[in-house]
Amino acid sequence: MATKIFVNLPVQSLDRTVGFFTKLGYTFNPQFTDANATCMIISEHIYAMLLVKDFFKTFTKKEIADATKVTEVLIALTMDSRAEVDAMMDKALKAGAHEYKEKMDQGFMYQRSFQDLDGHQWELFWMDPAAIK
């Protein structure tokens, strides 16, 4: 069985967050969704557990980072092409995200970044498969 990753992120409003990521084309597993949390399906092996802050607090003894003020994590997702990076970025901006950095184009790698409604930083990038070999 392939290893799966579940990234857990605190959110202010579950409904608002689900609305935002739905506009980006993501779906959610209803089996792991209730008033406190939802499981956003990013790919076959990657999921984001979006947890209301009070519920998120039950999983840690530490203070929860305010992602609008400090960087807690950088979530980087590969896309199949430059055009896919731009299309996803356009969806994010139209849904209320903010561009975090200017796009980076190194020829073999192309990247754009946005902050979601809760300040989490998402990196979208394409890398030429030939550059990886």
CATH superfamily, with its number, for domain 1-58: 2,3-Dihydroxybiphenyl 1,2-Dioxygenase, domain 1 (3.10.180.10)
pLDDT tens-place string over residues 113-130:
999 999 999 999 999 888
Q: Alpha helix (H) ranges present in the chain?
A: 14-23, 53-56, 82-94, 129-132
The two three-digit tokens of residue 19, written as one number = 């609305």
Q: Is the pLDDT of residue 50 over 80?
A: yes
pLDDT tens-place string over residues 81-111:
999 999 999 999 999 999 999 999 999 999 9
Q: Which residue has the tokens 């290893």?
A: 3
Q: Looking at the domain 67-133, which fold is it?
A: 2,3-Dihydroxybiphenyl 1,2-Dioxygenase; domain 1 (3.10.180)
Provide the sign of the torsion angle of the four alpha carbons 18, 39, 109, 113, taken in this order: positive
Q: Which residue has the tokens 């992120």?
A: 9
Q: Is the pLDDT of residue 40 over 80?
A: yes
**How much is the pLDDT for 133?**
63
